Amino acid sequence: MDKVFQIGTFCFRLTCIQEIPIPANFLLFEVSQDAKPEFTYHLDIKGYLPSPEGRILARRPDLTVFETADGEARLIGSLGGTAYYASYRELSEQRAEITLSVHEIGDLLFDTVFTSLFALERQMIRRNSLILHCAYEKYQGEAILFSAPSETGKSTQADLWKRYRGSNTINGDRALLRKTENRWTACGWPVCGSSEICNLGDTPIRAIVMLRQGKENHVERLSPFQAFTLLYAQITINQWNRDFVQKAMSEIEDLISQIPVWQLTCDISEDAVKCLETVLFPVTDFKAGDAIHET
């Protein structure tokens, strides 16, 4: 197997001696073999996983990260799992080697399992891009990104905009944010969580909306400090890499200097849509602390 993919500006080749199952969401990002990949992943399937050597940088129930002479290595597992299912090792700035347990081939069809093999967040931050946990809606040619911790209502608010305003959901769980021609753009991502909605689409960002459940609908523009704090918690950042943390912080600061970040306290009615629509279309000269109410 030899395929080329492009996610954001990152173009890469994936090779494997045998054919392997690839999630439909990931195949959306396949491009022509004529493209010029800047990175190559070689995937090997074995009955055992190699043990990386190097200093341990981070350890979680589903991941152990090592610092090696060539970059980074990982043992990759899943939350609730009893063993690692893959290993990842960078061989240079242009190549990485992935070893997958032979017992886990069938699980590759899950987009979270497959995508976790590639340490994509490392490649994205190198290209000034951020992975945001959000529902990504396209409306009137612009992106509205609904972000919040899990189970707070991202998909619900996205569905309300789809039902009452005819918006289009590009991804129900993630968006890649990158700057294009001096404007921040939301792009598709190959993982969509339980929403099962994953599409391609590069769309200029109109606004980021941080959600909070409530009995009344209320929206206010967040101050830069408030916006930074809430956004930082919803962006994928390798906390063990100081340089990447600093770079991510710089990108977030640039993002909120250009894109308004609102907090919407809301119920699950059309009134929530109307409340937010009042400030987004058109966006008026609201300052941090200004508020709109709908009862």
* Residue environment code for 167-187, b if the CB has 16+ CB neighbours within 10 A, otherwise e: bebbbbbbbbbbbeeeebbbb
205 with 175: CB under 8 angstroms?
no
pLDDT digits (tens, 9 = 90+) for 28-66: 999 998 999 999 999 999 999 998 889 999 999 999 999
pLDDT of residue 282: 60
pLDDT of residue 286: 45
Query: Token pair of 138, please?
Result: 């396209």
Query: Token pair of 217, please?
Result: 């609908």
pLDDT digits (tens, 9 = 90+) for 156-195: 999 999 999 999 999 999 999 999 888 999 999 999 988 8
If you average pLDDT over every residue of the chain, what do you get?
92
Q: State the pLDDT confidence band at 294, using cuts at 50, 70 and 90.
A: very low
pLDDT of residue 191: 95
Long-range contacts of 120-123 (CB under 8 A, 24+ apart): 120/7, 120/10, 121/236, 121/237, 121/238, 122/72, 122/238, 122/241, 122/244, 123/10, 123/12, 123/39
pLDDT digits (tens, 9 = 90+) for 76-131: 998 877 789 999 999 999 999 999 999 889 889 999 999 999 999 999 999 999 99
Sheet holding 95-101, edge to edge: 30-31, 2-7, 10-16, 39-46, 95-101, 86-90, 71-76, 63-68, 55-60
Question: Partners of 137 in the beta sheet?
Answer: 144, 169
Query: Token pair of 198, please?
Result: 């994953």
pLDDT digits (tens, 9 = 90+) for 251-274: 999 999 999 999 999 899 999 999
pLDDT of residue 152: 75
Nearest to 221 by CA among 229, 212, 210, 232: 210
Nearest to 118 by CA among 197, 24, 198, 7: 7
